[in-house]
Chains A and B, each alone.
Chain A
Amino acid sequence: MTKTKISAIICLVVFIIGAIIGVYLPSRANLDAKSKGYKTTEILSADMNETQSGDAYIYTVATQGEYVGQLKFEGSLENIEETASFYTSDTKEQLLAAENGHLANVSLKGGDAYITVDCSSPYLHIALKFEGDFEVKSATLNPTSLVFSFTSIFICSCGLLLVASAILIFTLLRGSLSGYTEIAGKYRHLVSNLITRDLKVKYRRSMLGFLWSILNPLLMALVINAVFQNLFRFDIDYFIVYYLTGSLIFNFMTEATTSSLVSVLNAASLIKKVYIPKYIFPLEKCLFAFVNMLFSSVAVIIVIFIQRMPLHLTALLFFFPMVCAFVFSLGLSLMLSSVNVFFRDIGHLYSVWTTAWMYLTPIIYPVSILPDGLMTVMRLNPMYYYVSYFRDVVMYGIVPDVQTHLICIIYALLFFVFGLCVFKKQQDRFILYI
């Protein structure tokens, strides 16, 4: 008991430390400015001189000779280029060509751009380049506010937590983890047999058998297409493919978790009479759902060909979001199936939750229609990353950046480690409650 409490406290502390680091790293320069006592000045866009020179926009800022270490532009600047140039002058009007300035580093945090300049002069001219629409609302010299960037906080805290929990698990549970490797040996056959059993039982007495796994999403797509092309129109190219790719990943997750939810309870007769490692049941349900997803992805391929959508080589990366979603679902399944043994209410609540979750994931609508507030919620939703990663590589031919990869992996491992801990702690008590 004390061991668990101590490790829980360690995890919490590590998580908080990670969150602090996640705030500190992007705000380092700002804190530096504060400690050196530089003057912070806020300038509205009306007080800035904006001129266009070539493909760059030059902003002239009056600094009254104060030292400027860093400059923050606020607004919607997502399309800014990574380098900018700046030069200084004594009068407002002295304009040089943008190319003649010093190079400055631009980093984007949220919708704001931070530009390191490091100079002091009455007037500062900054040339920024954009690859699309942008809006500058105001600028701050030597900003001292903390930068709360969701991705940096998330990556730091969860990354540290993962490392800490991995170390804790291997030190605390070194001996007792041995039961979790049996899967590779003695019980391999059981898992494969249970999967074939599920397949047989699922399609018993149906004429088309496992073809339904392909037909079902196809027919679903027809219905959704009819509804959304006529009632609610979204401006999405290849809407059927958009819908199918989203629902493929999401339905896998719901199928895996909802069938795992009752897997331990349904295996009561076995658990009570024979010794079997109990994690086999949720694992088997997840694998079964995974096999089903692979069948269903044939439907996606068929629709892609019917719609004559251009194919991309990046589509070969399709397995990455699938595997991540699998690990994520497995963790969630372990958690749900063990809690459901003690509180059967979870089962009823969960079906409502998956419906809500489906609408919180961009499956039938584009992300662009969401207001900013909901977008923040969306960033907390792991399924959003898996679904959009899958679409990026299959539909748009884009390979997402390193950050997205990290977030995908961290979410998956976080849920997996947590689920495994919950399951392991509770599994000996299952038999008393089923």
Chain B
Amino acid sequence: MANVIEVKDVTMRFNMSKERVDSMKEYFIKMMKRQLNFEEFIALKNVSLSIEKGEVVGIVGLNGSGKSTLLKVISGILRPSQGSATVRGTISPLIELGAGFDYDLTARENVFLNGSVLGFSKQTMQKKMDEIIDFAELRDFMDVAIKNYSSGMVARLGFSIATITRPDILIVDEILAVGDFLFQQKCEQRIADMMSGGTTVIIVSHSLDQIERLCSRVVWLEKGVVKMDGKTAEVCELYKNTTTR
């Protein structure tokens, strides 16, 4: 089967200046004094990964191991310093729920705005409006400005918009930790539906239970390097044993 995601030898480097240089004056002074030395930070190092269509891949690793960076490289938000990431198909990135919401606008207006961020027309969103409202359980609050929403409400609306159409690839970063457990179950149910429909899913989570429940394959990142890549049971077992020791 064809690989829908192909990450080839990706290295991601960040310049960490000790202090931020934000103004031209500072920049020139620092340049004159030759203090413009950056410290390099390597978030990903020669990561290669290929994911087939329909696979559900979990990514585990401690904080700072490069999980989110990898997701951002795959979804095209970050361009890798070296190597390439090729993706075939539409991506729905759930890296943070409610990205692109304008907090001064009402929920209804935001549905259209956020839909267009994902590339959907007004007509498409109009058709799906009822479905979105029902899933988010926010029927009474659709004409309220989002700034008055609670964080759980924002997350629910964000999730329902992002998953309203069936993308080829769904990227989920830690977002299932929001909302009450009932809504979490609903989200998981929806993701499971998508998987059965042939959507490729990448999940980053610290909850190993969730990973074990949903994923068929797990990639373990440590300090920017792929430490292990294989069957869920094997990787999770080893990960648990190494990190809890």
Which residues of chain A are near B104, meaning CB under 8 Å? 201, 204
The answer to whether B116 and A273 have CB atoms under 8 Å apart is no
In the complex, A345→B29 CA distance in Å?
Answer: 15
B100's partner among A270, A345, A431 (CB-CB below 8 A) is: A270
B1-30 interface code vs A (CB 8 A; 1 in, 0 out):
000000000000011000000111101000
B77 touches A275 (CB 8 A): yes
A345 touches B25 (CB 8 A): yes
A-B contact count (CB 8 A): 72
- CB within 8 Å for A269 and B122 given contacts A193-B113, A344-B22, A432-B14: no
The answer to whether A28 has its CB under 8 Å from any CB of chain B is: no
- Complex Cα spacing A270 to B119, Å: 14
Contact assessment for A343 and B99 in the assembled complex, using a CB-CB cutoff below 8 Å: no
Contacts of A192 in B (CB 8 A): 116
> Are A344 and B79 interface neighbours, CB within 8 A?
no
Q: Which residue of A lies closest to B173 (CB)?
A: A273
A274 touches B122 (CB 8 A): no
Residues of B within 8 A of A190 (CB): 116-117, 119
Please, how many angstroms separate the alpha-carbon atoms of A274 and B162 in the complex? 11
C-alpha gap A344/B26 in the complex (Å): 11
Q: Which one of B50-58, B89-97, B183-191 is at the interface?
A: B89-97
Cβ-defined contact, B122 with A197, below 8 A: no
B76 within 8 A of partner (CB): yes
Expressed in whole angstroms, the Cα–Cα distance for A343 and B119 within the complex equals 31
A276 adjacent to B23 (CB under 8 Å): no
The answer to whether A189 and B116 have CB atoms under 8 Å apart is yes
Q: Is the CB of A189 within 8 A of B120?
A: yes
Instruction: Give A270 to B103 CA distance when docked, in angstroms.
Output: 13
Q: In the bound complex, what is the Cα–Cα distance between A346 and B95 (angstroms)?
A: 32
* Given the contacts A190-B116, A274-B117, A275-B77, A345 and B24 also touching, CB distance less than 8 Å: yes
A431 to B79, CA, bound (A): 10
Chain A interface size, as a band, is 20 to 34
B82 at the interface (CB under 8 A from A): no
A379 at the binding interface (Cβ < 8 Å): no
A193 touches B99 (CB 8 A): no
Chain B residues with Cβ below 8 Å from A189 are 115-116, 119-122
Closest to B94 in A: A273
Least CB separation from A273: chain B residue = B99
Are A193 and B93 within 8 A (Cβ)?
no
For A429, the closest partner residue in chain B by CB is: B79
| A92 CB–B CB distance under 8 Å | no
A134 interface residue (CB < 8 Å to B): no
Q: Which chain A residues numbered 193 to 244 have a C-beta less than 8 Å away from chain B?
A: 193-194, 197, 200-201, 204
Q: Chain A interface (Cβ within 8 Å of chain B)?
A: 186-187, 189-190, 192-194, 197, 200-201, 204, 269-276, 343-346, 428, 431-432
Binding site for A on B (CB under 8 A): 14-15, 22-25, 27, 75-79, 91, 93, 95-96, 99-100, 102, 104-105, 109, 112-113, 115-122
Q: Which 4 A-B pairs have the closest CB atoms?
A: A273-B99, A275-B76, A189-B116, A190-B116
User: Apart from A189-B122, A190-B117, A275-B76, what 16 extra A-B contacts exist at CB < 8 Å?
Assistant: A187-B116, A197-B113, A200-B105, A201-B104, A204-B104, A270-B99, A271-B77, A273-B77, A273-B95, A274-B77, A274-B95, A274-B118, A275-B93, A343-B24, A344-B23, A432-B14
